[in-house]
Amino acid sequence: VLRWDASTTLAWDPVAGATRYNVYRGDLESLPGDYGDCRNGSDPDPTDTAYEDAEIPQPVGTAFTYLVSVTVNGTEETLGRASDGTERTVTTPCP
């Protein structure tokens, strides 16, 4: 679910066994390959299933991309696969 107003709110279904959700935000122009940086530092509760981003992309007409990974048993799971089937990896994983 993605909602735009004064902020962007992301929400997702819980994953069994998850202890934390890691949100990555990047710039649309950086795709493919750069999936952004970890936003957990601006998330008051990375254990819940929502993230609110108060920043609006600038300049007008640009956009952010978001991906969410899950941590289970102390290990961060994959960010999934890109449309061409390659594994998505981040250059700087969440701490």
Q: Does residue 32 have a cis peptide bond before it, meaning omega lies within 30 degrees of 0?
A: yes
- Residue from 61, 59, 53 nearest 8 by CA: 53
pTM over 0.95, yes/no = no
CA 60 vs CA 9, 38, 51, 57, 76: distances in Å:
19, 23, 22, 7, 33
Cβ-contact 64, 28 below 8 angstroms: yes
| DSSP bridge pairs for 62 | none
For 34-93, the pLDDT digits (tens) are 778 899 999 999 999 999 988 877 777 778 888 999 999 988 888 888 888 888 877 778
